[in-house]
Amino acid sequence: MTNAARAHVTSDEAPRTAPRLSVVGRADRNAPAPAASEIRLAATNLHKSYAKASISIPVLRGVDLQVKRGEFLAIIGSSGSGKSTLLHLLGTLDRPDEGEVLYDGGRIDNLPARKCDVLRNTKFGFIFQFYHLLPELTALENVLSPKMISDGVLKYWRNRREHRAEAERLLETVGLGHRLHHKPREMSGGEMQRAAIARALITKPEVLLADEPTGNLDRRTGQEILTLLRTLSDREKLTVVMVTHDLGIAEQADRVVSLVEGRVEH
């Protein structure tokens, strides 16, 4: 993820009391608990509060969550329920006040900053509601930017043809083969989100973390983006964790959990 994208990441506001949602995913709720080897990402007893003046405002109040390898999980909740905060903790964009985040069985929430940077640039892909594309770069250059950051100048220059070919392939995959040299201002909202998805995939991540990926789009375009994420999950065996406030969007995932008053309800 680019530094510009990191700079736009904001935390949820204080949670408001959310309606209790009846949600049903595609997975069997009565299925046996998955074996430890099947778990890609897990959270245990996560707590997170934010300070406002001299007041500490709790957002997450003991979240427990497991995400299986290759699963498409949707987390639903009302605005301010802590959805984005939870996603940021899972992706090491922020640290919990209490609890643990595990990736492939190893704890990651307490890693040094440099190791978190490497983890985010190699294992995680991020998609945000407002795209966070760099306006001065073309779609192709935006997709290539994570490789430029991770490789450094010399290594990137040596492998530039390979990286460019992969970026072009990804843009073709998401339906933007005709927009390689267009800048964000020349693209629609749906096209910008497709470019952001291609950018998230350029490092070949194992986990895709999507924060309201359809929230800034009209219904038809949002459905197209969701179908694309669904296809990528099925074809590439990506683990996808998506947060949304839209039950209709969430129910198209493999499994849906509800975030209510800072806790996960399965």
What's the pTM value of the predicted model, to 2 decimals? 0.82
Q: Strand pairing of 255-260 and 98-103?
A: unpaired
72 touches 242 (CB < 8 A): yes
User: What average pLDDT does the structure give for the chain?
Assistant: 86
- The confidence band for 183, taking pLDDT boundaries of 50, 70 and 90, is very high
What is the rounded CA–CA span in Å between residue 49 and residue 51? 7
41-82 confidence digits (pLDDT tens): 999 999 999 988 888 889 999 999 999 999 999 999 888 789
CATH 3.30.420.40 fits 3-265, yes or no: no
**How is the chain split into domains, by residue range?**
3-265
